[in-house]
Amino acid sequence: MRERLEALKKDVLAELESIEQVSQVQELRVKFLGKKGLLTEILRGMGKLSAEERPLIGQLANEVREVIESKLDETKNLLDQAEIEKKLACEAIDVTLPGRMFHIGNRHPLTLVIEQIEDIFLGMGFTVAEGPEVESDYYNFETLNLPKDHPARDMQDSFYITEEILLRTHTSPVQVRTMEKMKGEVPVKIICPGRVYRRDNDDATHSHVFTQVEGLMVGENVRMSDLKGVLLAFARQMFSEDARIRLRPSFFPFTEPSAEVDVSCMFCGGHGCRVCKHTGWIEILGSGMVHPRVLEMAGYDPEKHTGFAFGMGVERIAMLKYNIDDIRHFYTNDLRFLKQFNRV
């Protein structure tokens, strides 16, 4: 029996040598030490031993069991460790590999310019208002002192949806909508950026959809000089610190008096060049003192309150600021064009 136990130990050690997987350790454990294992089988013969021999063989059997157990554990640990190392090796990250470039989009040039305009006017205490693009004839024309038969309606060829509903031709209706909401309160100080629609043939300087920013200030003693001051501050922040402006008499049905505003040419500083057609000036917006009838229709008493208003084309401002030669660039979404604004 002693020999059989020694042989068993040798067999285990030999089999352990050739083991490659952790699961095989468990198989060996069952095979040698399990209830129906080889060791148990040998020990079944204990009954036939003499009383002297029994404790000696029992002790030996325990020793063999211990050796087998510790060898099995040892092998299992080694295999576990090897497995972890293998896993770590194949999951290793090479931090020296160059990264992949992400293509991040950027804001559209018109958005950039609208945000700049908003910043400038917010800095002067204006807030941003909005109005619908599908507008009623009433707000787009009537309340702006443009009754049905008024010839100035022809200046703005419109997209009509029904007799009474159209796509707004300008952002001016937001003036009236805002004043109605304010219910006679002053001051009113808003700008309104938004899209407008006109039945125009598209070319380098015209588009049937474009963007305007409207401005309106109503209060006590609001004067033309306030309009001039606000627009000069705007021109200086938008174009250059030494920009100058000039007002030329003009006509709009909703303002009286009305003025067109020019800014000193940002390309030649006012000396005269091709862009300003050698005049030194470039027109940037229409403006004026809000017509008493417009104030009245919007619920304000023109005897108590006065106001100024202006409206500018955002595309035009953007084209001047970034030297863009064709308005269609804004809408055709050529990435080579749009990407140039990723650092502005």
Write out the binding residues for ligand DAH, residues 163-182 only, by CB under 6 A.
170, 172
Asked whether the beta carbons of 307 and 295 are under 8 A apart, the reply is yes
- Give the burial class of 290: count Cβ atoms within 10 A of its Cβ; 0-12 exposed, 13-18 middle, 19 or more buried: buried
Q: Does 214 bind ligand DAH (CB under 6 A)?
A: yes
Residue (22 or 186) nearer to ligand DAH, CB: 186
Of 23-31, 34-42, 85-93, 281-289: span binding ligand DAH (CB under 6 A)? 281-289
**Cα 143 from Cα 300, distance rounded (Å):** 13
**Cα 113 from Cα 269, distance rounded (Å):** 21
Distances (CA, A) of 264 to 33, 77, 117, 173, 232: 100, 84, 18, 29, 11
Residue (32 or 126) nearer to ligand DAH, CB: 126
Asked whether the beta carbons of 19 and 73 are under 8 A apart, the reply is no
Task: Output the smallest distance, CB 331 to ligand DAH, in A.
Answer: 19
Question: Which listed residue (143, 255, 264, 306) binds ligand DAH by CB under 6 A?
Answer: 255
Helices (H), 128-190: 137-140, 173-182
Asked whether the beta carbons of 312 and 285 are under 8 A apart, the reply is yes
Q: Does 141 bind ligand DAH (CB under 6 A)?
A: no
Binding mask 19-38 for ligand DAH (x = CB under 6 A): --------------------
Question: Which listed residue (207, 211, 287, 306) binds ligand DAH by CB under 6 A?
Answer: 287
Of 18-26, 96-104, 218-226, 308-316: span binding ligand DAH (CB under 6 A)? 308-316
Give Dmax over CA atoms of the chain in angstroms.
133
Q: Does 286 bind ligand DAH (CB under 6 A)?
A: yes
Q: Does 310 bind ligand DAH (CB under 6 A)?
A: yes
Q: Does 252 bind ligand DAH (CB under 6 A)?
A: yes
